[in-house]
Amino acid sequence: MSLLGLSGPKLTLKHLSTILLMIISFFPPPSLSSVSRGVTGHPPDMDEGNDDNIYMDGDDDFGAETAKITSPGESITSARAFMRGHGTYVDSDEVIASVAGVIERVNKLITVRALRTRYSPEVGDLVIGRITEVQPRRWKVDANARQDAVLMLSSVNLPGGVQRRKLESDELQMRNFFQEGDLLVAEVQAFFADGAMSLHTRSLKYGKLRNGQLVSVPPILIRRLKSHFCSLPSGVDLILGLNGYIWISKHVRNNEKEGHEGFDAEAVYSNQNDDIDDATRTAIARVSNIIRVLASRSVPITDSIALEAYEWTVEQDVDVKDLLLEDVADALVAAVTKEPSEQW
Amino acid sequence: MAFKTLSKSEKSYIQASLQAQQPLRGDGRSLHQFRSVTLQTGVAPIANGSSLLNLGRSSDESIGGTEILAAAKLEVEDIGPASSGVEGGRIACVVSCSPAAYSYLPAAALDDLQHDYSTVLHAVFSHASLRPPSLGIIPGRKAWLLTLDLMVLSDAGNVYDALFMAARAALWDTHVPRTRAVEYRRGIGGKAKDDNDMDVDPESHSGLDTRSKPLATDFELEDSWDEGPVLGGRDAWPVCITLNLFPGLHFLDATTQEEAAAPIRLLLVYSFSAKSPAAALHGMHLLGVGNVDLAQVESLVKEGEKYALDIYTALNAKLKDEELRRTDKARLKFSSVR
């Protein structure tokens, strides 16, 4: 019975009658128990034989290869046949996990990717970073990874045209572009030999962040999406950095972003916030709290979940600060996470 | 999550939100609202009193919030010119910061920070006006040294208030073993009482005897090390309230980001007692750049007293709860053994 509880479709009266009809037609003498089973769990078009499939469907979401999760101290395999990688150690001829995470295997090499860890970058990822240091011809950027990222002067958009050589005068006024503490959104361009990532902001989508606030979550909760820029109703923009930094800001229209001549350096590198009205500020605080709640309950954060959660809080008329109360937060997470089974 | 610096736009966003018509904070709290506090006492088994306090984390999370571990340990000290002991006992307060909480700080900066915290706490807790009555052992000879160690495990803002709350909880939880003075008497003629060379003085109230120096030289413990009556005067341990000041307004319990955006912080330390409703101001500390009018400080001190009283009442209720919880647990354990 617990298995049937996994998916709880909403059943209308019409469904109920079809189920009853079906059960009657399949099993001429319907016992009381089978009726109740049908009502609690079965989708209308499934008969008894498909019980196992409910389980299988759930597993398929993870891909063809099911992810195996392990915990510290758990023996994974024999050390004779396999080599130990990151997150494992060998004790008495056995490879044992040293962190909680997902087991990965490449040929003979066994590694465990930790669940709670720093961000491990990949080329093309969208990240949000904070400038920690200004160095000759480069900025050091904290991007929640093991090492600080590097943003070269040559990989930012310079004023006066997108395509132009950097000059000595640019080097001398690097703090006019980014200074210590500034937040920016960028893309991972390449890696250096020591594994540090190199960022670039050579797109109008990227650059300095303003008009909002930052929320930080464990990087594992951010999945790779089609677009990491999303806008919610009531004028809030959301940038989901794959490194776990999330920027929540006032909505900026696309044509405003570009400025008059394609690239407006003053607007891009400005430190001044626009005028933000109270309603937008409240909405930004609401989205921040939603993200905090979802992160505290380890719900993966995507644009659609954020949107759903936002609509739920508006529908239920939840006050912004009440979102952090335990029962409200639990209700929010329950409402958001049960959604997939309700779709049909 | 701790931030070294804020960008200019973040700072001005926070400041503008706070100074708007309807002040709004990053997490939707009102200006004078605290985050949730969780507290547990008796967490360190070998300390005489200990507490673990978290400010701003919900129970479902495993990380986050400002987390402080406080432990009080009693040691016996000799009193005299050669040693550092003080008549009637003394308290020493040390704050250390976990490097994991401040991973962005270099070691030297971390030392400075620890020193700042230690100085403020030590100045308040070791002051003679707060010294508990039960720290003396043998007048003129030996006394307890209470070492209060605090550890900042993570920092999500408002460390000072959290430190004081944790310290208060740990001291509340501290039990001082009962001692009995032991006296050696020379057997001179018939003056010696009986056949005993050694006499045990049941009550060591020899301070009344002004004619001669007390003869007690050593003591023995009546209780085992973690038993005994609670440290005296525990109602008086102070609470701290940090007022983050903006022109025209102040707010409480700032997060790390809000702390970075607020120019001035005023620390006010109050002590209350069960008998009189009036609070005693035990310390005041101004952090940050800028100046505050004296008249403004006066009104802030009055305001702060109200907030501090709220913290005091809530903390006392929680500490009594904790005591009940722990005695219940001990009783259950005992009855199950029997």
User: In sequence order, what are the beta bridge partners of B181?
Assistant: B219
Cα distance between the two ends of chain A: 21
Of A5-9, A184-188, B96-100, the one with minimum mean pLDDT is A5-9
Q: Residue B209 pLDDT more than 90?
A: no
**Closest CA in chain B for residue A321:** B28
Q: Could you write out the DSSP letters of every residue in B306-335?
A: HHHHHHHHHHHHHHHHHHHHHHHHHHHHHH
Q: What is the pLDDT of residue A339?
A: 55
Of A250-254, A274-278, B161-165, the one with minimum mean pLDDT is A250-254
Q: Residue B87 pLDDT more than 70?
A: yes
Q: What is the mean pLDDT of chain A?
A: 78
Q: Residue A306 pLDDT more than 80?
A: yes
Q: What is the pLDDT of residue B168?
A: 94
Pick the residue with more confidence: A166 or A252? A252
B290, part of any domain: yes
What is the side-by-side order of every strand in the sheet holding B216-221?
B198-200, B179-184, B216-221
Q: What is the pLDDT of residue B45?
A: 87
CA A124 to chain centre: 15
Flag if A183 and B7 touch (Cβ within 8 Å): yes
User: What proportion of chain A, given as a percentage, has pLDDT over 70?
Assistant: 74
Q: How far is B172 from chain A (nearest CA, A)?
A: 29
In total, the C-beta contacts within 8 angstroms joining chain A to chain B are 92
User: In sequence order, what are the beta bridge partners of A70?
Assistant: A101
Q: What is the pLDDT of residue B188?
A: 53
Residue B30 at interface with chain A, using a CB cutoff of 8 Å: yes
Q: What is the pLDDT of residue A100?
A: 92
Pick the residue with more confidence: B77 or A51? B77
CATH number of the domain that residue B156 is part of? 3.30.230.70
Tell me the CA distances in angstroms from B283 to A341, B89, B272, B275, one per residue in order.
58, 22, 13, 21
Q: Kindly tell me the burial class for residue A253, based on how many C-beta atoms sit within 10 Å of its own C-beta (0-12, 13-18, 19 or more).
A: exposed
Q: Residue B57 pLDDT more than 70?
A: yes
B267, part of any domain: yes
Q: What is the pLDDT of residue B94?
A: 95
User: What proportion of chain A, given as a percentage, has pLDDT over 90?
Assistant: 37
Q: Which of B6, B7, B35 to mutate to test the interface with A (most CBs of A within 10 A)?
A: B7
Flag if A281 and B20 touch (Cβ within 8 Å): yes
pLDDT band at B148 (very low <50, low <70, confident <90, very high): very high
Nearest to B137 by CA among B237, B235, B214, B47: B214
Q: CA-CA distance, B144 to B176, in Å (whole number)?
A: 9
Residue A214 at interface with chain B, using a CB cutoff of 8 Å: yes
Domains A69-114 and A126-337 are alike in CATH topology: yes
Q: Is B301 left (phi over 0), alpha (psi -120 to 50) or beta?
A: alpha
Q: What is the pLDDT of residue A57?
A: 41
Nearest to A237 by CA among A211, A201, A255: A211
Q: Residue A342 pLDDT more than 70?
A: no
Residue A288 at interface with chain B, using a CB cutoff of 8 Å: yes
How confident is the model over A42-75, as pLDDT tens digits? Answer: 444 444 444 444 344 434 444 445 678 899 999 9
B138, part of any domain: yes
How confident is the model over B108-141, as pLDDT tens digits? Answer: 999 999 999 999 999 999 988 888 888 888 888 8
Q: CA-CA distance, B74 to B68, in Å (whole number)?
A: 20
Q: Please name the amino acid found at residue B83.
A: S
Are B307 and B244 spatial neighbours (Cβ–Cβ below 8 Å)? no
Pick the residue with more confidence: B260 or B183? B260
Residue A326 at interface with chain B, using a CB cutoff of 8 Å: yes
Pick the residue with more confidence: A97 or B328? A97
Q: CA-CA distance, A12 to A55, in Å (whole number)?
A: 24
Which residue among A180, A272, A321 sits closest to B5, beta carbon to beta carbon? A180
How confident is the model over A156-169, as pLDDT tens digits? Answer: 887 766 566 777 88
Q: Which 176-195 residues of chain A touch chain B by CB within 8 A?
A: 180-183
Q: Domain A69-114 - what CATH class?
A: mainly beta
Site of tokens 């040691």: B75
SS3 assignment for A208-261: ECCCEEEEECCHHHECCCCCCEEEECCCEEEEECCCCEEEEEECCCHHHHHCCC
Flag if B22 and A296 touch (Cβ within 8 Å): no
CA A51 to chain centre: 32
Q: Please name the amino acid found at residue B136.
A: G
Q: Residue A290 pLDDT more than 80?
A: yes
Q: CA-CA distance, B266 to B250, in Å (whole number)?
A: 10
Chain B residues whose beta carbon lies within 8 Å of the beta carbon of residue A320? 24, 27-28
Of A32-41, B78-87, B317-326, the one with minimum mean pLDDT is A32-41
Nearest to A207 by CA among A163, A141, A260, A146: A141
Q: What is the pLDDT of residue B288?
A: 87
Q: What is the pLDDT of residue A158?
A: 78
Query: What is the topology classification, in CATH, of domain A126-337?
Result: OB fold (Dihydrolipoamide Acetyltransferase, E2P) (2.40.50)
Q: What is the pLDDT of residue B269?
A: 94
List the domain boundaries for chain A: 4-60, 69-114, 126-337
Cα angle, residue A24 at apex, residues A21 and A30 outer, rounded to 5°: 135
pLDDT band at A31 (very low <50, low <70, confident <90, very high): very low
pLDDT band at A239 (very low <50, low <70, confident <90, very high): very high
CA-based torsion, B117, B123, B129, B134: positive or negative: positive
Q: Residue A259 pLDDT more than 80?
A: no
Q: What is the pLDDT of residue B181?
A: 82
Q: Residue A20 pLDDT more than 50?
A: no
B1, part of any domain: no
Flag if A281 and B24 touch (Cβ within 8 Å): yes
Q: How far is A315 from chain B (nearest CA, A)?
A: 18
Range of the domain at B90: 37-176+230-337
Q: What is the mean pLDDT of chain B?
A: 84
Asked whether this complex has an ipTM greater than 0.85, the answer is no
Q: What is the pLDDT of residue A2?
A: 40
pLDDT band at B60 (very low <50, low <70, confident <90, very high): low
Q: What is the pLDDT of residue A160?
A: 67
Are B34 and A297 spatial neighbours (Cβ–Cβ below 8 Å)? no
Q: Domain count of chain B?
A: 1
**Assigned token pair, A151:** 């943003």
Pick the residue with more confidence: B290 or A110? A110
B54, part of any domain: yes
pLDDT band at A131 (very low <50, low <70, confident <90, very high): very high
pLDDT band at B214 (very low <50, low <70, confident <90, very high): low
Pick the residue with more confidence: A33 or B314? B314
Flag if A213 and B7 touch (Cβ within 8 Å): no
Q: What is the pLDDT of residue B139?
A: 83
Pick the residue with more confidence: A160 or B281? B281
Q: CA-CA distance, B103 to B96, in Å (whole number)?
A: 14
Q: CA-CA distance, B42 to B71, in Å (whole number)?
A: 9
Are B255 and B26 spatial neighbours (Cβ–Cβ below 8 Å)? yes
